[in-house]
Amino acid sequence: MEYAGGQTKKAENTTGKTAVITGATSGIGLAALKQLASLGFCVIGVGRDAKRCAETEASIRREVPGARVDYLVADLASQRQVRDLAAAIRRLLEMENGGCLDLLVNNAGAVSSWYVTTEDGYEMQFAVNHLAPFLLTRELLPLLKKAGSARVITTSSGSHYNTRINWRDVMYRRGYNCLRAYKQSKLANVLFTSEFNRRQGPGSGIRAYAVDPGLVNTAIGEKGTNGFVSWFWRIRRKRGVGPEIAAGTIVHLATTPVLEDPEAIYWKDCRPKRPSRYSQRKDAGRRLWELSERLTR
* Residue 2 within a domain: no
E-strand ranges in the chain read: 18-22, 42-47, 68-73, 103-106, 150-155, 206-211, 266-268, 271-272
* Residue 101 within a domain: yes
Write phi, then psi, for 264 (nearest 5 degrees). Answer: -70, 135
Q: How many domains does the chain have?
A: 1
Q: How far is CA 110 from the centre of its chain?
A: 11
* Residue 182 within a domain: yes
**Domain of 217, in residue numbers:** 11-295
pLDDT tens, residue order, the chain (297 aa): 333 334 444 456 677 899 999 999 999 999 999 999 999 999 999 999 999 999 999 999 999 999 999 999 999 999 999 999 999 999 999 987 789 999 999 999 999 989 999 999 999 999 999 999 999 999 999 999 999 899 999 999 999 999 999 999 999 999 999 999 999 999 999 999 999 999 999 889 999 999 999 886 655 544 544 554 554 445 455 555 678 988 999 999 999 999 989 899 999 999 999 999 999 999 999 999 999 999 998
Q: What is the CATH number of the domain that holds 249?
A: 3.40.50.720
* Residue 120 within a domain: yes
> Has 115 been annotated as catalytic?
no
Distance CA 169, CA 157 (A): 22
285: buried, middle or exposed (CB in 10 Å: 19+, 13-18, 0-12)? buried
* Residue 6 within a domain: no
Q: Are 58 and 25 in contact (CB under 8 A)?
A: no
* Residue 112 within a domain: yes
pTM of the model: 0.89
* Residue 238 within a domain: yes
Q: Are 144 and 244 in contact (CB under 8 A)?
A: no
Catalytic residue, from 182, 209, 266, 278: name it: 182
* Residue 97 within a domain: yes
